[in-house]
Amino acid sequence: MLVNIYNFIVDILFPLECIGCKRKNFYLCEECIDKIPEPNHEKLDNIVACFDYQHPLIKKAIWDLKYYNKKLAGFMLGKQLGGYMQEEISELRQIHNGQKFIIIPVPLTKERRRERGYNQAEYISRAFTESFSVNIFELHTDIVIKNKDTGHQARIHNKKIRLKNMIGAFSLNKNIDLNIYVKNRIIFVVDDVTTTGATLFEIIKILKKAGAKEVYGIAVAH
């Protein structure tokens, strides 16, 4: 609530302008977006990211979304992720006869969701689905549950420890018919940032174990 009030006051006192070049009426304009590089890191299996997290504009946008509930940041990031994935999604639709794909935002624990008031991955996911001209996605926020608070993964520098920290962190909702929403489905798991891929790998693992045909992790930044 306090964050929303803060944003309301800031929006009145400081009209919207690009966080890069200060151009009016944009959160982040196309010219500035075009200057942000793709990730310059080792690629992760079945995980795709469209921006390099080390770029200051991407860090700023994700910070605004994650901690200050800047919905425009989530809208922009999701749209960009959708544009980045257009060709791959089109190819998958042809291969799989146009069937709808499942979109799952990486969930928060109930406590963290209550504390923050929203899930930034949901904002990104909704904008991602809206970036396609045809309705080819089913967005579900209740298929995967986060069971425990894993803390700030970015502060854990050892990849093996990160992966171990994620074991058992997620499970599938027992009240969901997995035969409909998971088994033999193509699923995309959406997050804001991936570093070692530990979070996405863990969710991909449990979805594959439940019978998903293919599971991909997609993130705004890496």
What is the 3-class SS of 21-90, one letter each residue?
Answer: CCCECCCCCHHHHCCCCCCCCCCECCEEEEECCCCHHHHHHHHHHHHHCCHHHHHHHHHHHHHHHHHHHH
Q: Which fold has domain 38-221?
A: Rossmann fold (3.40.50)
Return the SS3 of 138: strand
What pLDDT does residue 70 have? 94
Q: Could you give the CA distance from residue 191 to residue 103 in angstroms, rounded to a whole number?
A: 11
What pLDDT does residue 11 have? 55
What pLDDT does residue 166 have? 86
What pLDDT does residue 40 have? 86
Q: Where are the domains of the chain?
A: 38-221
Residue 56's CB is within 10 A of a number of other CB atoms, namely 10
Q: Could you give the CA distance from residue 75 to residue 127 in angstroms, rounded to a whole number?
A: 5
Q: Could you give the CA distance from residue 219 to residue 48 in angstroms, rounded to a whole number?
A: 6
Q: pLDDT tens for the chain, 222 residues: list them.
A: 545 554 445 555 457 999 999 999 999 999 999 999 999 887 888 999 999 999 999 999 999 999 999 999 999 999 999 999 999 999 999 998 878 999 999 999 999 999 999 999 999 999 999 999 889 999 999 999 999 887 665 555 566 777 788 889 999 999 999 999 999 999 999 999 998 899 999 999 999 999 999 999 999 999
Return the SS3 of 137: strand
The token pair at 39 is 């990730």
DSSP state of 108: P
What pLDDT does residue 42 have? 78
Q: Of all residues in the chain, what percent are helix, strand and coil, respectively (each to 5)?
A: 45, 15, 40
Residue 146's CB is within 10 A of a number of other CB atoms, namely 20
Q: Could you give the CA distance from residue 148 to residue 143 in angstroms, rounded to a whole number?
A: 16
What pLDDT does residue 13 have? 46
